[in-house]
Amino acid sequence: MLRTALRNVLAHKARLMMTALAVLLGVAFVSGTLVFGDTTANAFRNASAVSLKDVAVAVQAQMSEPESLPAGGPAKGGQGRPTTVLDTALAHKIRALPGVTAVRPTVNGEAVLAGKDGRPVNADNPEQHLATNYQPGKDGKDSRFPLKEGRAPAGGGELALDAKTAEKAGYRIGDTVRFATDGPALAKKLVGIVTTDDPRVAAGSTLALFDTTTAQKLFLTPGRFHEIAVAARPGTDERALTARVQALLPADGARATSGADLAAKQSAQITADTAFLTKTLLAFAGIALFVGVFIIANTFTMLVAQRSREIALMRAVGASRRQVVRSVLIEAALVGLGASAAGFALGLGIATALHPLLDVGDAGLPDGPLVISPQAVLSSLAVGVVVTVLAAWLPSRKAAKIAPVEVLSSAGVAPPARTLLVRNVLGTLLTGLGMLVMFYVSTLDSTDKSNLLIAMLGGVLTLCGVIVLAPLLSHPLIALTGKVTTRFFGVSGKLARENALRNPRRTAATASALMIGLTLITGLTVGGHSTQQAMDEEATRGTTADFQISNSNHTGFVPTDAAKVAKVPGVATAAPLTGGNFQVRGRLAGIAGTDPAAFAKVSDLTFREGALDGVRAGTVAVSDKFAEKNGFGVGDTLAAATDTTEPGQHPTTKKLKIVAVYEANPAVPDALGTLQDVLPYSPTHTLDSIMVKTEPGKAGSLERDLRAALGNSPLLKVQNTEQITKEARKNVTTALNMIYGLLGMAVVIAVLGVINTLALSVIERTREIGMLRAIGLDRSGIKQMVRLESVVISLFGALLGIGTGTFLAWAGGHLMTSSMATYETALPWAELGLFLALALLIGVLAAIWPARKAARLNMLESIQAH
C-alpha cells in the first residue's frame, strides 16, 4: 500500500499540483510569520544590546513636578520645567567609585524640526521627534553617534542631526535649522551630521543632538539629567557595583539597575511585544490554511471518485478498508510534506516582505538578518502535513467504503439525499443559532470584552453554518445566475449551470473557499467604511470653522494667541477653546471653555432650551444627555469640583448656573462655559485649540499667514476640514489596507481551488466532453462552457461572502455606538461592486487553463475514456 501511495502521487502530479500550491501558500504564510517574529525579536534585542553596550549600571530617574510655572503660558527657557534628582555632583560621585571607568549622563527630549521648505518634519507623529545631548568621551567623541560630517555641537547656538534626518529635512552643514520643543520656533546652526544604530531613527524618527548644557535648558533644568549610564572595568562585579551606586542615590526619585538585569527586562518586554504581533499574523495564516482545507478535501474527494474502479479492484485482491484509508492518508502526507518544504522556502521571502509592509506607518521595526529557528522549521512542516492529512481523512473514509465488486463507469456521483438532509439540518441549526447570537449582539452598545467574545462566537457560528448550508443554497443562487448565462450564452451557458449544479457539495466546497475570504474582507470593509464615516462626522459635526489650530505636542496656547489670529487679514472670527474635567455628584464630566460670542460664529449647536448668547461668567450650557443623566435643567446650579489641582492644594468647587441645554455634539463635551471659568479645570491652563472662520473666498490662502501670526513654530498644526477628517481616518485606512494584504493570501488560495476543481472536473467529464464535441459543440463552445461554470461558482461564493460579511458587520457594528455616537452602518457600494467584479475576474482567470485543457481533448479518445 505504501508503494501504491507513492505511485499515485507520481501518477497524478498535475492533479495534485493545485492542492500542493494551496498547502504551499498556507505554510508559507505560517513559516513567514514565525521567521518574521523571530527575526524582529532578534533585531530588537540586537538594537537593545547596542544601546546597552558597555553599560554596567543604569541609573534612571523619576520626573518631579516643576517648582513654578511662568505666568501666562507654558514653560519657556528652562523655567518651571520638570526636574530630577540626578545632577552633576552625583555623576562625579559615581565616577569616583572603584571599578568605574566612565559615566555618561543623558538628557532626553523631543524637538520638532522644520524642513528646509518650512514644513514640519514628521508633523503627524509627535512621538517620533527624538532629541538628546551629545556627550563626548575622553577622545572628544560620543560612541553612540559617530560623526559623518562636521563636528560635535559645542555651544548654545549649535546642533547636530543624524544623516537620515538631515537628508529628509534637506539640511547641510552650515544651514540654520528651525525647530521647537514646547513653544515658539528656535533656530540653531547645523555643525555636525552623525550616524546611529537607534532602531527608532531607522524607522523614521528624527534625531537632534545638542551639547549637554543646551539640552538641559531645553528639556530639563540646568545641571540635571534623566539617566546616567555607568561603564566598568572588565571583571567588575556588576551587582556589587550596582549596590554601591544605589547607596549614593537618594531614597526616592532614582533607581540603579545592573546592565544584565536591564538587558533581561528589555528582552522579556521585546519577547512579549513581538509575540502579540506574531499571534496576530498567525491568525491570518490560520485563515489561509482553513481556506486551503476546502481545496485539499475537494481534491481528494474527486480523486477518490475518479479512482473508484482502481480502489474496488484493490479491495477485490485483498486490500482491507484500513489499508485503503492508510493509502490515501499516506498520499496526502507525502503531498503535504513536499508542499510544506517548498512553502517554508517561500516563507523566507514572505518574512522579508512583511517588514516593509508592516512598517509602512513608521512602526519602528528594526532591520536585521533573517533568523531561522528549528522550531519554525518543524512547526511549519508539521502544520502543512497535519492540515493536509486531516483534510484528506473524510475522503479516505469514503474510499474505504467502496465495495470490492463495485465498478463505476463514471465519477462524480451525487451524495445520497440522506447525507444532504442531515447536512442541511445541521447547517440550518448552526446558521440560525449564529444569527440569533448576532441579533442579540445588535442590541448591545459597548465594546466590553464579554460582548466582543459573544460577537466572535456569533460570527463563527454564522460563517460555519453558511458553509455547511452552502450545497442547499447553491440551487437557487446558481439557478438564478444560470438563467443569465443561458439567456446570453445559449447552450454553453445552460451546460455551465447544469455542471455547477451536478454535485452541490463539490460546488459548495469550491465556492466556500472564496466565500470565507470575501466574508472577512466585506465585513472589514463595511465596518471600516462605517467607522470612517462616523469619524468624519464627529470631526466636523457641530462646527463651521474653516481652520483648526493646535499644537502637535499638546502644549497649548496662551489666551492672548486667539487675539493675534483674529487680527490676521482675511480672518472673520477666531474662537479660543480649552477643555478640562470636573467632578459633579461623584461623576467625571468634561467641560469646554470659550468666548461665547466668537464660538457662536464657528459652531453649529442645536439648543433645546436657552441659547449660546446666554452664557456669561458664572453660567454654563450643558448637553441634553448630561442634563438627563444628572437630572439638571435650565435654572439649576451646577456645583463643579476641579478634577486637576496644583500640588499641595485641595479641590475647589465652583457654582455655575445652567442657562441653556444643547443637543449632545462631538464638538463640545458635557458642558460649555466661558474661558475664564473653565481655564482652572484645564490641565495646562492654556488653550487647546483656536477655531478660525475666514472671510468668503479667503480660506485657500490663509494657512501661511496663520502660522506666521503664532511664530511659525514647527509644532503648529493648521488644519482645514479636509485635513482634519483625513487625519481622523488615517489609522483606520492604514489598518484596513494592511488587513486586505494579509487576507489576500486566502483569496489567492481560493482562486487555486476554483482552478483545481475545474481541472479535475474536466478530467472527470472527459467522455461527456467528447460526446458534446461529437454532436456539434466546437472548441470555443467547450471553452465558454468551462469559463461560465467557473464564473457561476465564483459569483456564488462572492454573493455568499458579501451577504454574510455585510450581515456580520451590521450586527457587530452596534458595539461601536457607545464610543462613537454617530456610528451607523453604511454600505460602501463602490467597494461591494468591486468585489463582485473581482469575483467575475477570478472566474474568468481561473478557467483559462482548465478551459484550454478541455478544448484540446481528442474527440474519439475522450468518447472511449472510462
The overall average pLDDT reported for the chain is: 82
CA distance linking residue 322 with residue 649, whole number of Å: 83
CA distance linking residue 591 with residue 579, whole number of Å: 6
Q: Are 738 and 851 in a shared domain?
A: yes
118: left (phi over 0), alpha (psi -120 to 50) or beta: left
pLDDT at 60 over 50: yes
User: For the residues 253-279, what does the mean pLDDT come to?
Assistant: 78
**Could you identify the residue written with the cell 521567521?**
35
Whether 117 maps to a domain, the answer reads yes
Kindly indicate the confidence band of residue 74, based on its pLDDT and cuts at 50, 70 and 90.
Answer: very low
What is the dihedral sign for C-alpha 598, 599, 605, 610? negative
Whether 102 maps to a domain, the answer reads no
> ∠ at Cα 427 (421, 428), nearest 5°?
90
C-beta of residue 406 within 8 angstroms of C-beta of residue 308: yes
Weakest-pLDDT range from 168-172, 404-408, 701-705: 404-408
Domain boundary among 677, 709, 741: 709
Structural domain of residue 660, as residue ranges?
558-709
Structure-model confidence comparison of residues 504 and 64, the more confident one: 504
What is the dihedral sign for C-alpha 384, 385, 389, 392? positive
Coil/strand/helix, residue 477: helix
Kindly indicate the confidence band of residue 414, based on its pLDDT and cuts at 50, 70 and 90.
Answer: very low
Q: Tell me the longest C-alpha to C-alpha distance in the chain.
A: 102
Q: Rg (Cα) of the chain, in Å, rounded?
A: 35
Q: Are 734 and 653 in a shared domain?
A: no
**Could you identify the residue written with the cell 514647527?**
714
Q: Are 655 and 767 in a shared domain?
A: no
pLDDT at 646 over 70: no
C-beta of residue 36 within 8 angstroms of C-beta of residue 376: no
Weakest-pLDDT range from 391-400, 532-541, 610-619: 532-541
Whether 678 maps to a domain, the answer reads yes
Q: Are 538 and 568 in a shared domain?
A: no
Per-residue model confidence (pLDDT) at position 7:
66
User: For the residues 143-169, what does the mean pLDDT come to?
Assistant: 91
Q: Are 729 and 862 in a shared domain?
A: yes
Output the nine-digit C-alpha cell for 756.
483545481
pLDDT at 71 over 60: no
C-beta of residue 88 within 8 angstroms of C-beta of residue 223: yes
Of all residues in the chain, what percent carry a pLDDT higher than 70? 86
Kindly indicate the confidence band of residue 325, based on its pLDDT and cuts at 50, 70 and 90.
Answer: confident
Q: For residue 651, how many other CB atoms are within 10 A of its CB?
A: 11
Kindly indicate the confidence band of residue 415, based on its pLDDT and cuts at 50, 70 and 90.
Answer: very low
Q: Which of 605, 553, 556 is nearest to 576 (CA)?
A: 556
> ∠ at Cα 793 (430, 12), nearest 5°?
100
Task: Specify the DSSP element, H or E, that contains 675.
Answer: helix 675-678
Coil/strand/helix, residue 670: coil
Kindly indicate the confidence band of residue 177, based on its pLDDT and cuts at 50, 70 and 90.
Answer: very high
Q: Which residues is 665 bridged to in the sheet? A: 668
C-beta of residue 572 within 8 angstroms of C-beta of residue 699: no
Q: Are 198 and 302 in a shared domain?
A: no
Q: Are 495 and 626 in a shared domain?
A: no
Q: Which of 758, 748, 744 is nearest to 299 (CA)?
A: 758
720-757, pLDDT tens digit by residue? 887 877 777 777 777 777 777 767 767 777 777 777 77
Kindly indicate the confidence band of residue 149, based on its pLDDT and cuts at 50, 70 and 90.
Answer: very high
CA distance linking residue 283 with residue 301, whole number of Å: 27
Where do the H-state alpha helices sit in 558-595?
561-566
Q: Are 569 and 508 in a shared domain?
A: no
Output the nine-digit C-alpha cell for 643.
478634577
User: For the residues 265-270, what does the mean pLDDT come to?
Assistant: 73
CA distance linking residue 76 with residue 134, whole number of Å: 22
User: For the residues 345-369, what does the mean pLDDT come to?
Assistant: 69
Pairing of strands 619-623, 571-584: unpaired
Residue at 824: amino acid letter: E
pLDDT at 639 over 70: yes
Per-residue model confidence (pLDDT) at position 662:
93
Kindly indicate the confidence band of residue 52, based on its pLDDT and cuts at 50, 70 and 90.
Answer: low
Per-residue model confidence (pLDDT) at position 417:
44
Domains: count for the chain: 4
Q: Which residues is 113 bridged to in the sheet? A: 179
Per-residue model confidence (pLDDT) at position 76:
45
Q: Which residues is 383 bridged to in the sheet? A: none
Whether 397 maps to a domain, the answer reads yes
378-401, pLDDT tens digit by residue? 888 888 898 888 888 888 887 787
Per-residue model confidence (pLDDT) at position 13:
62
Q: Are 565 and 535 in a shared domain?
A: no
Coil/strand/helix, residue 466: helix
User: For the residues 443-456, what does the mean pLDDT come to?
Assistant: 84
User: For the residues 438-450, what does the mean pLDDT come to?
Assistant: 84
Q: What are phi and psi of 540, to 5 degrees?
A: -120, -15
Q: Which of 397, 434, 386 is nearest to 419 (CA)?
A: 397
Whether 717 maps to a domain, the answer reads no
Kindly indicate the confidence band of residue 80, based on its pLDDT and cuts at 50, 70 and 90.
Answer: low
Q: Are 30 and 130 in a shared domain?
A: no
Domain boundary among 408, 424, 458: 408
Q: What are phi and psi of 603, to 5 degrees?
A: -125, 165
Model pTM score = 0.70
667-698, pLDDT tens digit by residue? 788 999 999 888 877 877 888 899 999 988 87
Output the nine-digit C-alpha cell for 842.
477570478
Whether 858 maps to a domain, the answer reads yes
Kindly indicate the confidence band of residue 433, based on its pLDDT and cuts at 50, 70 and 90.
Answer: very high
Domain boundary among 194, 219, 244: 219
* 647-651: long-range contacts, CB 8 A cutoff, minimum separation 24: 647/65, 651/583
CATH number, domain with residue 207: 2.40.40
Coil/strand/helix, residue 160: strand
Whether 463 maps to a domain, the answer reads no
**Could you identify the residue written with the cell 519554525?**
376
Helix axes 504-540, 829-846, angle to 10 degrees: 150
Q: Are 569 and 699 in a shared domain?
A: yes
Q: For residue 764, how many other CB atoms are within 10 A of its CB?
A: 20
Output the nine-digit C-alpha cell for 308.
473508484
Q: What are phi and psi of 857, to 5 degrees?
A: -60, 135
Q: Which of 686, 685, 693, 658 is nearest to 672 (CA)?
A: 658
User: For the residues 205-220, what does the mean pLDDT come to?
Assistant: 92
Weakest-pLDDT range from 37-41, 68-72, 208-212, 563-567: 68-72
Residue at 153: amino acid letter: P
Per-residue model confidence (pLDDT) at position 173:
95
Output the nine-digit C-alpha cell for 853.
485543457
pLDDT at 55 over 80: yes
Q: Are 490 and 574 in a shared domain?
A: no
User: For the residues 175-202, what does the mean pLDDT come to?
Assistant: 87
User: For the residues 344-350, what does the mean pLDDT come to?
Assistant: 86
Whether 549 maps to a domain, the answer reads no
Coil/strand/helix, residue 661: strand
Q: Which of 714, 652, 629 is nearest to 165 (CA)?
A: 714
Structure-model confidence comparison of residues 91 and 766, the more confident one: 91
92-121, pLDDT tens digit by residue? 999 999 988 888 899 999 898 988 887 788
C-beta of residue 166 within 8 angstroms of C-beta of residue 116: no
CA distance linking residue 325 with residue 327, whole number of Å: 5
Q: Which residues is 322 bridged to in the sheet? A: none
Burial class (CB in 10 A: 0-12, 13-18, 19+), 318: exposed
CA distance linking residue 241 with residue 296, whole number of Å: 62
Burial class (CB in 10 A: 0-12, 13-18, 19+), 420: middle
pLDDT at 703 over 60: yes
Q: Which residues is 120 bridged to in the sheet? A: 114
